Amino acid sequence: MSPMKRITRFVAWATLLVVCVSCKPKELDSAGSTPRIISVEFPGIPPKDVTIDHERHIIKVKLPPLLPNSMHPKVNFTGEAYLKEVQWYKAFNMECLECRQLQLVDKWPSGNVLVTYTLEFTPSGPLEIDAAALSGYTDRDLAVAMVLSVPFKNLHANPLPTRVKFTNLKTGETIIGDSTSFDILNTQGMALPLFQRGWNEPANRLIINFFNYMKEVVPGTYNVEFVTASRSVLKVPQSFTIKNGPVIVMNWESKDVPRVHPGENFVFTGRSLFAENLDIEILDKDDKAVMLPEIEYGNYGVEAIMKLPASFAPGHYAVHFRDKVFRNTIYCYLLHVTTEKVMPFEISKILGFLNPCSLKGPQALTKDNYALITFNGKAPTTRLKMVSVQDSTKIQFAKSELLKFGDEEGKPTINIPKDVPNGLYRVSLQVLDETGKVTQEGPPYWRLVEVK
């Protein structure tokens, strides 16, 4: 064979070898490279409905019409890493991006995130009410005092409904709830939304939190229908009976103890404020029940008016609420009946709810513990002046400061030092300037304080 032919044959074989090597499938991973998720095995979902885009780090999952109650998959991956804990109930029930992220994390000690995959769910069909499941449920399964639970198909990958309509079968009144509905309970972002996929409920249930958003939905029987994101109307093929919800009193001491003149009205708000739900008792400073003023309840249980007669004696009272339906729900609030104006830096309350519901005797305070204090006014620096009842020449002081609870605005508190002697005290609030000099002092607190 001539040298030219040998060279030609060598080039041909080299070219073929390069082509064959380039045709060989790429390995998903190799030693030292970034780990990858190679498969995710979901209960009840065939492997063909789960695809992984390694370039974009997206895991696409086609969900069946109905999910099993447990959706904890097996995640298989390469490399020296571990899967960061995933809250799977959030992944299937919530819309937040971080809820649907799968992160492979470097092993201890660094704990660095090496790669992040995002789950994308697609439905098998449009959102629809699961009539077959609905027929097997009773009112007890579906409607309670605060939420309505409706079975759906294709719930966990479709957008949630945009609107719900309740029609009261007795009165004919229709009540609409949507994304613009006002949060009646004024929970400032902490409340559940109007619509949500069930968490503690079985899968495939839509929860409607009407108690928070739809004040006109009172105990009774209703027809219900939904409007979807595609504007189709889904009518629930059976009615629901809504029961009494728990009594909630909201505004009584939201900022200060109510000060009401004899002969005036006091309006308090909440939920389930109906005469048949409530026992109300007013106790004086000797724990004796006084005559209950007339109370006018609104139609929807969100407002009630306490009408004090002109003969109602001035003083401080404990108002005791008992929920007749949810018997473990009890409230106790202060009411100050007076004709006097509130004075600057007058203390109206120390501590929160009255427990026990009594104003009898001195108010007990524990040393080296923060206690909320409510007073009229604001100042950069304040303190509690404590005059011994046994010996008025002996005066103690307790620091007052703002204490923050989470993201809330700081609330005034007091903290009695450990070296303050036990005993009874008359207390008042003092305002201090930058040098520590007293510039103002409020009147004595209306109740004796006992330090223990």
User: What are the residues facing 426 on neighbouring strands?
Assistant: 387
Which band of pLDDT confidence, cut at 50, 70 and 90, is reported for residue 327?
confident
* Helix spans in 94-159 (H): 131-135, 139-142
> What is the distance between the alpha carbons of residues 229 and 160, in angstroms, rounded to a whole number?
7
The conformation of residue 47, written as its DSSP 8-state character, comes to: G
> What is the distance between the alpha carbons of residues 96 and 59, in angstroms, rounded to a whole number?
16
> What is the distance between the alpha carbons of residues 308 and 316, in angstroms, rounded to a whole number?
14
Whole-angstrom Cα Rg for the chain: 33
Most confident of 3-7, 162-166, 353-357: 162-166
380 pLDDT higher than 80: yes
pLDDT (mean) for 191-208: 80
Q: Between 71 and 7, whose confidence is greater?
A: 71
Under 8 Å between Cβ of 185 and 136: no
Q: Which domains does the chain have, with CATH numbers?
A: 37-122 (no CATH), 128-242 (2.60.40), 247-340 (2.60.40.10), 345-452 (2.60.40.10)
> What is the distance between the alpha carbons of residues 330 and 357, in angstroms, rounded to a whole number?
10
* pLDDT attached to residue 16: 43
25 pLDDT higher than 50: no
> What is the distance between the alpha carbons of residues 198 and 296, in angstroms, rounded to a whole number?
37
Which band of pLDDT confidence, cut at 50, 70 and 90, is reported for residue 65?
very high
* pLDDT attached to residue 340: 93
Q: Between 407 and 21, whose confidence is greater?
A: 407
User: What are the residues facing 402 on neighbouring strands?
Assistant: 412
* pLDDT attached to residue 330: 78
Report how far apart, in Å, the C-alpha atoms of 114 and of each of 37, 59, 255, 256, 397 are: 11, 17, 49, 52, 56
End-to-end CA distance of the chain: 112
Length of the chain: 452
* pLDDT attached to residue 15: 46
Which band of pLDDT confidence, cut at 50, 70 and 90, is reported for residue 154?
very high
Name the nearest CA neighbour of 56 among 37, 74, 75, 80.
37
From the CB of residue 152, how many other CB atoms can be counted at a distance below 10 Å?
24
Report how far apart, in Å, the C-alpha atoms of 53 and of each of 39, 72, 118 are: 11, 21, 10
pLDDT, tens digit, 9 for 90 and up, residues 35-58: 999 999 999 899 999 999 999 999
- Number of helices (H) and strands (E) in the chain: give both, helices first: 5, 34
Under 8 Å between Cβ of 212 and 187: yes
> What is the distance between the alpha carbons of residues 236 and 138, in angstroms, rounded to a whole number?
14
From the CB of residue 169, how many other CB atoms can be counted at a distance below 10 Å?
13
377 pLDDT higher than 50: yes
18 pLDDT higher than 50: no
pLDDT, tens digit, 9 for 90 and up, residues 440-450: 999 999 999 99
Most confident of 85-94, 113-122, 250-259: 113-122
Residues 6+ apart with CB under 8 A from 174: 165, 166, 167, 168
* pLDDT attached to residue 23: 39
pLDDT, tens digit, 9 for 90 and up, residues 227-243: 999 999 999 998 988 88
From the CB of residue 365, how many other CB atoms can be counted at a distance below 10 Å?
22
Residues 6+ apart with CB under 8 A from 339: 261, 262, 314
> What is the distance between the alpha carbons of residues 266 and 258, in angstroms, rounded to a whole number?
8
Residue 314 tokens, joined: 């001035």
